[in-house]
Amino acid sequence: MAIKSSGPLALENDIIDEFTHIDSFAPHNLTEYYGKEITKSLNDNMSVTYKPYNQIPYGSSNEALSFSQFYGVELEYTFLVNYDVQEVNIYNEAMNFGYNGVSDINIILSNDRFAWSNDVLTPALTIDNFSGQDVGLIISGVIMGKGGNGGRGRNDLNATINTGENGGGALFIDCESNIKITVLGSGRICGGGGGGGGMGMELGGRELRIGGGGGGAGGGTGGGVYGNDNFALAGGAGGGLRAAGGDGAAYRAAIATGGNSFGNGGNWFNRKGTDAASAGGGGGRVKPSLIQGTPGRAPHGGRGGDFGQPGQHGNYSNGGAAGYAIRTASGSYSIIEGGTRIYGPQI
């Protein structure tokens, strides 16, 4: 928060309170705050900058300073997150690296870094506790919600409708500040994909075939089955942290195989080449899953949703809903740049 722009200034209550991290030790005097360093690094992740940049002179300690030169001056922090973080409260994380809790701050998630979640009930990145200061969120990496698990296969031994799990949220805002969001280059804000719905039961000749739905993008697990694994068609897992979506398993395969950037549904044709059953493919990191399972009379598990997309319905159950990209409980946000790289509902 800036030093006030008019009226009397107090060294202790105005200037010193603003410049918490400029190595000020009592007894205090104005010469502590010469603008010799416009930007001061506190550590590898946090730096602090004077604003306006030229208001406090660069002279030696012999030069006179006046209180009026401090009108409107403020500190702006820059927090560079150049490591992966899981289910992080970014205010608490910044405080751990030396943020003073009151000044303006820019938070930068570096290229190829992830803020991610492994829990559909917990967002990947939470912004709270800020109280009116300017907060910039600059995303060159990925904020990624957890993908929903695929629904399990259904049979007469367990006739539950096996809906795919809903995807988890990416960015949750609950503070008094307006968060200014910029998404750059390959940066993404992605709600978790919904899990695919499980398939029903098919009798192929005398053989029971059951398949699960695919997991949603963001690490959702492919749906398993009830029954004999020899005839179980497992859904492919959703692409997670630096991982691609998996393919749904084909007939007589109980585990999924790896995909590329999305997962296909597993396919199988019987001896006559007509009926087929398959599990759903997992949601991809960027590209969507392409195949829901073999069409026609055969049951199929739904594919897992891509980031910010719902899971596809299986032949007996629904896919899960997409996780939110951004949710606001209090405060507000504005998109400065890169709105097309935000995947999922904004609520």
Looking at residue 134, its pLDDT comes to 94
Looking at residue 315, its pLDDT comes to 74
Cα distance between residue 247 and residue 5, in whole Å: 62
- Token look-up 């599990």 returns 279
Output the 3-class SS for the chain: CCCCCCCCCCHHHHHHHHCCCCCCCCCCCHHHHCCCCCEEECCCCEEEEEECCCCCCCCCCCCCCCHHHHCCCEEEEEEEECCCEECEEHHHHHHHCCCCCCCEEEEEECCCCEEECCCCCCCCEEEECCCCCCEEEEECCEEECCCCCCCCCCECCECCCCCCCCCCCCEEEEEEEEEEEEECCCCEEECCCCCCCCCCEEEECCEEEEECCCCCCCCCCCCCCCCCHHHEECCCCCCCCCCCCEECCCCCCCCCEECCCCCCCCCCECCCCCCECECCCCCCCCCCCCCCCCCCCCCECCCCCCCCCCCCCCCCCCCCCCCCCEEEEEEEEEEEECHHHEECCEC
**Residue 231 main-chain phi, psi, to 5 deg:** -125, 25
Confidence band of 72 (pLDDT split at 50, 70, 90): confident
Cα distance between residue 253 and residue 188, in whole Å: 34
Rounded to an integer, the average pLDDT of 9-32 is 71
Rounded to an integer, the average pLDDT of 94-101 is 94
Rounded to an integer, the average pLDDT of 304-315 is 84
Looking at residue 104, its pLDDT comes to 93
Rounded to an integer, the average pLDDT of 272-280 is 48
Rounded to an integer, the average pLDDT of 17-42 is 69
Q: What is the pLDDT of residues 234-243, one digit of tens each?
A: 677 777 777 7
Are the beta carbons of 73 and 3 closer than 8 angstroms?
Answer: yes
pLDDT at 198 over 70: yes
Number of Cβ within 10 Å of residue 12's Cβ equals: 9
What is the amino acid identity at position 246?
Answer: G
Residues paired with 105 in a beta bridge? 77, 135
pLDDT at 252 over 50: no
Looking at residue 268, its pLDDT comes to 37
Looking at residue 203, its pLDDT comes to 55
84 versus 265: the higher-pLDDT residue is 84
Q: Is the pTM of this model over 0.95?
A: no
318 versus 161: the higher-pLDDT residue is 318
Looking at residue 269, its pLDDT comes to 35
Rounded to an integer, the average pLDDT of 268-289 is 48
